[in-house]
Amino acid sequence: MTADGFGVLIVDDEPNIRSGLAKGLAREADYVETAGNAQEALDKFRENRFHLVLADVRLPGALDGLQLLDRLITAAPRTKVIVITAHGAVETAVEAMRLGAYDFITKPLDLDLLRMQVRKACDLYRLEVENEQLRDRLANAGEISGIIGNSSAMQDLFGQIRQVAGTDATVLIQGESGSGKELIARALHDLSTRSQGPFVAVNLGALPETLLESELFGHEKGSFSGATRRKPGCFEQARGGTLFLDEVTEMPAKSQVDLLRVLETHRYVRVGGEETIVSNVRLISATNKSVGPLIEEGTFREDLFYRLNVVPLHAPALRERRDDIPLLVEHFLNYFCQRHDRPLKRLTAEAMQALSAARWPGNVRQLRNVIERLIVTVGDSTISRQDLPPELTPHAAVSTASICTLAEVVEKAEKQAIQAALAACDYHREKTAQLLAVSVRTLHYKMSRYGLH
């Protein structure tokens, strides 16, 4: 019958040493047994599971300690073996390490040093086991093109991705910032017939309005100041592949018209050019905003929305898939330990519970960054609840429940300022925008965001 927990087998021909070590190491292991020679040790090893073997090099019988070491490592490579050598027996210690010994200790024995070696061997063994279990869990986890999830929300999403990927249908992905919208777009590309073509991603919210048309459709040499050569746009760069337009609701009105025309005619012209170019891309767009209010406010074209939203997909927020948090944590632990050349770390149960209960307003992106920070800053092999950022722990969440975030404070102040300005200008939007020193488009966006109709 196999015992549970971490087991130690002590092999020595002297009964006093065996009993003394068994008592001295009782607290370092879940169970300890002893053997007087190599053959007895092998018999006990076959009957039970030992994770650490402490063996004297000099043993009576046909097999000495080094031969026992060789057989144990061959039978169970993960088993750690610490050999006991005579003082000054350097060659024997070197030979033991060459055969695969975890460590060696010389006589007379230092029990405190031996306890430390046993604890380290125990930690290493458990980390190796957890690493293997992690690989198994990740191998069996639901995954599409690097997106990981076993929750029902993610399984539904994976089914939609598989169903849609093989078509050229235009897709609109909606979801909060950090929820993985670009990963979904890449998965659609990777599983499509266009997978051998380019995948071009453009963040429309990061482009100034004056450059947007040129970035999308390209320009000819001399078409404007600074245009020293012909430059292909994103539609041209993505020819035969997929074009991903992130933050599509940030497009100004003119660019919305231009994009709608391309979707309807599948043709476009470079800025300053005359040649009509046929569009050959699969278009996927994304937004972290609710489009309905933007349409009502007139800041986003309804006809363009219908063109983009042929197939709608929803990227679940992390709070909608909390069951996936332990799986994601393990994935990021493994990834960042390898990336930063650190030994594999693990989380205590309390730390994992705290991560699973956190708010995660930044979604998977925030979780990813937190795990990387912990890998870099925590020196121990185990990450405890005390190592987590204070804002993530349940205690912090309770004690600060009545405190607003800076973003919430800013939003509240903005809403109050816009309400006051609208009232002062008798709800004339152009005058209100001038009073607030913002563009009418920005005012429309803010009014829609705060429900100020």
Distance of CA 340 to the CA centre of its chain: 15
pLDDT at 399: 41
Indicate the pairing of strand 199-203 with strand 147-148: unpaired
Query: What is the share, in percent, of the chain residues with pLDDT greater than 70?
Result: 92
Burial degree of 136 (CB within 10 A; 0-12, 13-18, 19+): exposed
344-356: pLDDT as tens digits? 888 888 899 999 9
How far is residue 165's CA from residue 37's CA, in Å, rounded to a whole number? 64
Q: Provide mean pLDDT across the span 224-248.
A: 90
| pLDDT mean across residues, the chain | 86
Q: pLDDT-derived band of residue 250, with 50, 70 and 90 as boundaries?
A: very high
Give one DSSP letter per residue of 269-300, joined into a string. E-BT---EEE---EEEEEESS-HHHHHHHTSS
Q: What is the mean pLDDT of residues 297-301?
A: 93
Range scoring the smallest mean pLDDT among 123-137, 211-225, 249-263, 383-397: 123-137
Predicted confidence (pLDDT) at residue 139 exceeds the cutoff of 70: no
**Structure confidence at residue 395 as a pLDDT band (50, 70, 90):** very low
Between 392 and 398, name the one with better pLDDT: 392
Residue type, 47: E
> Could you tell me which residue, 393 or 264, shows the higher pLDDT?
264
Sorted by where each starts, the structural domains of the chain and their CATH numbers stand as 7-138 (3.40.50.2300), 147-314 (3.40.50.300), 318-399 (1.10.8.60), 406-449 (1.10.10)
* Residues 93-129: tens digit of each pLDDT: 888 888 888 888 888 888 888 888 888 888 878 777 7
Q: Which of 425 and 147 is assigned the larger pLDDT?
A: 147
**Does residue 370 carry a pLDDT above 90?**
yes
Calpha distance 162→177 (Å, rounded)? 23
Residue 380: is its pLDDT beyond 90?
Answer: no
Query: What pLDDT is attached to residue 405?
Result: 66
Looking at per-residue confidence, does 196 or 93 come out higher? 196
DSSP string, 226-263: T--S-B--HHHHTTTSEEEEETGGG--HHHHHHHHHHH
Q: What is the torsional sign of CA 327, 333, 339, 341? A: negative
Over range 226-232, report the average pLDDT: 84
